[in-house]
Amino acid sequence: MKRIAAAAIILAVLCAGAAFGKGTKEASGAGSSGASAAPAATTAAATQYPLAGNKKFTYWVELPANVNTYAKNLADVEFRKNLEKATGVKIEYQHPASGSVLEQLNILLASGDYPDMLEYTWPTYSGGTAKLYADKVIVKLNDVIDKWMPNLKAFYAKKPNIARQVKSDDGSFFLIPFIRDSDELRFTSGPVLRADWLKQDGLNPPETIAEWETVLQAFKDKNNAEGPFTGQITDNVQRVFVTAYNTTGTFYPDENVIKFGPVEPGYKAFLTQMADWYKKGLIDKNLMTIDRKYIDAAMTNGKGGSSYCAGGGQVGPYITTGKKANPDYDLVATTFPTLNKGEKVKYINSFEFTTNGHVVVSSKCKDVEGAAKWLDYAYGTEGNMLFNFGTLGVSYNMVGGEPIYSDLVMKDPKLSIAQAMSKYCVAPMSGPFVQALGYIQQYYTMPQQKAALTKWSTKDASTSIEPPVTLTTAEAADFAKTMIDINTYVDEMKAKFILGTAPLSDIDGFQAKIRSMGLDKALKIRQAALDRYNKR
Amino acid sequence: MDQKNMTIRSRFLREMTKNGELYLIALPVIAYYIIFHYVPMYGAQIAFKDFSPSAGIEGSPWVGFRHFIDFFGSIYFVRVLKNTLVISATSLIFGFPAPIILALLINELRTRRFSRTVQTITYMPHFISMVVICGMIREFTSQAGLISVVLSYFGLPARTMLNDAGLFVPIYVISGIWQGVGWGSIIYLAALTGIDQELYQAASIDGAGRWKQTLHVTLPCLLPTIIVLLILRTGNILSVGAEKIILLYNAAIYETSDVISSYVYRRGLLNSDWSFSAAVGLFNSVVNFILVAFVNWLSRRTSETSLW
């Protein structure tokens, strides 16, 4: 008996290792898309809301963190009730447990029994939406938009550059998108410094690398900062400073030729400068182990003097916390640094269409027309106001022709502004609608935050970053296989050069080695994807 | 022929009438292993396929050993294998005897209340979440952290210890001992209570002091337990868990800290590469199984104690 038990334990241990793939049944071949089956109809007229016929749909989406603090299902949220009233469509919301969203999505897709609509960060899904269409999981939306979504169609007609980002290389539309239609909505993080220290030291917010060095040195000498610049190596240090050297930490197009930052000459200069600053104590010594909590503490308790911060989640709360202990405490945002005065950085940009908040219509949806009309509501004037500001007279009022959030959301005694907003609208989250500039201008209540928006979006007119390209399944697999080793190598060596554990004279060898690790193949894949994008 | 069948059937019936209840009690456990451990093994075939969730296990195309070749062909294969073995072996050498020593020490304590207190305190770290533990380790070993500062009194430079590749394995192993030593000692303490007290009396009559008693009575009586646990432990030699590694390591010290599971984790995150992960998992399981079988054989040959 003892032996059997012991053998059973061993088996259990082994099985736990081997059983990565759980039994999943083959996805049943889904029917042809509702769109292609329908006859080519006349171009749509404006849809009348509320829709008739007591339509009901299922909608799969992760419960947003803001909502999670006070409701367990979107159906209980005031905004969704108002949306139901306005559109006449009842939605049953299905929420995966947060933390294992992707796994649950995969199990759902493998089951062959999909909800009518699914909202997810689809551009990050392995193989992309084109593969889901090929596997007959989702429906192609070109005809659907043409016939039943006049609002979205009009928006695309007005903004062809955005339509181009959303569609796939062969011109198909698979997604109903979340769009952030202005610079201020997209550049919401950037370099931030202690304004009170700058004032004490008689310095201006730095704009060039040389000015940054002076400021960081002053923070160290005069303000006793342990981390004159505090932050994580890749997400903070590299993001703030690498663009000054006319390159980036990853792939980017230079006049439509794809380049990989770490093998460019600018990257060598970047590494050399950062190693120098690290040695001089201008960068936080803990840069490899820092997390968000550390930055939160350092930026408010005087250990850190500057960092890469988000306007909403960091600058605002830091100022509130910092002022409690030290009434002089203040922060100021500055532009991304350049090498020479008067220059603007080239390789920062952001696209209207990014990764989150997009919706697909599944092949199991029996009434694609109804779903499309329901989704189209958000892109109309009325829907846009509801999604961005909520209900007139409740969550916002019209003041001088502009929608202004009411005190109900701006001064909730318990909830944060974003949480209170999430009761009445979707503006602080993401979803299939066009986000309005008015939201961020009011969400950022402090003048320091408002000023940050223009500083962080300051960029050269020739600005260029990789657009939302799509890789084919085979390309994606090949690319990942090549890049896992290259990324490991770059991350490791970047850290070693900056920490001084590898001599800077090895940088040339480092760049040569990256090329020898199959970089050309990866460059070719991204180049092909960019070329296809440019032809869209 | 018929007669033989008859005897088998009658023997089966007799066995059932005699021990039927015992079999009934065992049934849920057997069902558990079949449902949760044998059936999922069917899914291990995706290691030889290009699995995509929408196509399902059966619908995904076969690719033979491609994922294994990918793994063995990676320029980091040797490094992650070496790191896995080094971390595992160091944990085994230093971490395995620790709970035995603690159990022996607790066993020598005469005041019952004191020994209970010691036990409870040493169990404690086992119940703290790994995320919290690693947060504490990172904090304590940072430049201004407790451990770095204490070490600086002894002339060592105060620095972020986790930036130093040479310190990763010691930090990992020592913190592992701290976490697991109390919990691990429970099984030995249980075995210690089972030792016949007369043996100690006989030994003391023969003039053995406490040290000699430990050496000649306690340890030999503990040996079977020690060996069984050692064999089980060798079955995990390639399974350095990703969780603690990922919470502690950083790019600057990949050289000593990047192990098989963390490498697979990074690759999995990049591309949801299920088949690759399954292939590596299968490889680990096979190596672990061979090791267990080998150590078990060795143990049976030398000490007559073994799992099977």
Q: SS3 for A64-119, per residue?
A: CHHHHCCCCCHHHCHHHHHHHHHHCCEEEEECCCCCCHHHHHHHHHHHCCCCCEEE
Give the minimum alpha-carbon distance from B101 to chain A in angstroms, rounded to a whole number: 24
B6 pLDDT band (50/70/90 cuts)?
low
Cα-based distances in Å from A67 to A64, A121, A405: 5, 18, 18
Q: Work out whether strand A179-180 and strand A251-254 pair parallel, antiparallel, or are unpaired.
A: unpaired
pLDDT tens for each residue of A314-354:
999 899 999 999 999 999 999 999 999 999 999 887 889 98
Q: CB–CB of B71/A46 below 8 Å?
A: no
A44 pLDDT band (50/70/90 cuts)?
low
Q: Kindly state the average pLDDT of the residues A86-103.
A: 88
Tell me: pLDDT of A101 over 80.
Answer: yes
Q: Class of the B68-302 domain?
A: mainly alpha
pLDDT, position A23: 37
List of residues 6+ apart from A350 with CB closer than 8 A? A180, A183, A186, A187, A465
pLDDT tens for each residue of A156-190:
999 998 999 998 888 899 999 999 988 888 888 99
Q: Does any CB of chain B come closer than 8 Å to the CB of residue A256?
A: no
Count other Cβ atoms within 10 Å, centred on residue B217.
Answer: 18
Q: Does any CB of chain B come closer than 8 Å to the CB of residue A516?
A: no
User: Which pair of structure tokens corresponds to residue B62?
Assistant: 């076969």
Q: Kindly state the average pLDDT of the residues A219-236.
A: 94
Tell me: pLDDT of B289 over 70.
Answer: yes
Distance, CA of A160 to CA of A153 (rounded, Å): 10
* Closest residue to B274, CB basis, from A3, A13, A21: A21
Q: Is A351 exposed, middle or buried (0-12, 13-18, 19+ CB in 10 A)?
A: middle
Give the whole-number percent of chain A exceeding pLDDT 70: 91
Count other Cβ atoms within 10 Å, centred on residue A474.
Answer: 10
DSSP of A345-403: -SS----SS-SSSEEEEBTT-S-HHHHHHHHHGGGSHHHHHHHHH-SBTTTEEEETTEE
* Closest residue to B54, CB basis, from A132, A476, A485: A132
Residues of A in contact with B274 (CB under 8 A): 20-21
Count other Cβ atoms within 10 Å, centred on residue A195.
Answer: 17
Question: Which of A289, A296, A491 to mutate: most B Cβ within 10 Å?
Answer: A289
Give the minimum alpha-carbon distance from A287 to chain B in angstroms, rounded to a whole number: 9
pLDDT tens for each residue of A357-400:
999 999 999 999 999 999 999 999 999 999 999 999 999 999 99
pLDDT tens for each residue of A132-150:
888 888 999 999 999 999 9
What type of residue sits at position A75? A
Residues of A in contact with B162 (CB under 8 A): 288-289
A288 with B252: Cβ contact below 8 A: yes
In chain A, the N- to C-terminal Cα span, in Å, equals: 69
Mean model confidence pLDDT for chain B = 88
Give the whole-number percent of chain A exceeding pLDDT 90: 65
Distance, CA of A527 to CA of A519 (rounded, Å): 12
Residues of A in contact with B37 (CB under 8 A): 11-12, 15-16, 19
pLDDT tens for each residue of A455-477:
998 988 887 888 888 888 788 87
pLDDT, position B306: 77
Tell me: pLDDT of A29 over 60.
Answer: no
* Closest residue to B292, CB basis, from A10, A132, A286: A10
Tell me: pLDDT of A30 over 70.
Answer: no
Q: Kindly state the average pLDDT of the residues A20-24.
A: 37
Nearest CA in chain B to A16: B37
Q: Does any CB of chain B come closer than 8 Å to the CB of residue A14?
A: yes
* Closest residue to B51, CB basis, from A10, A21, A480: A21
Distance, CA of A420 to CA of A67 (rounded, Å): 9
Q: CB–CB of A361/A136 below 8 Å?
A: no
**What ipTM does the predicted assembly reach?**
0.78
Q: CB–CB of B176/B95 below 8 Å?
A: yes
Q: Is B39 exposed, middle or buried (0-12, 13-18, 19+ CB in 10 A)?
A: middle
Q: Work out whether strand A306-310 and strand A331-333 pair parallel, antiparallel, or are unpaired.
A: unpaired
Q: Does any CB of chain B come closer than 8 Å to the CB of residue A97?
A: no
Distance, CA of A287 to CA of B294 (rounded, Å): 44
Residues of A in contact with B39 (CB under 8 A): 23
pLDDT tens for each residue of A236-253:
999 999 999 999 999 999
B271 pLDDT band (50/70/90 cuts)?
low
Residues of A in contact with B261 (CB under 8 A): none
How many contacts, defined by CB atoms under 8 Å, are there between A and B?
172
Q: Is A208 exposed, middle or buried (0-12, 13-18, 19+ CB in 10 A)?
A: middle
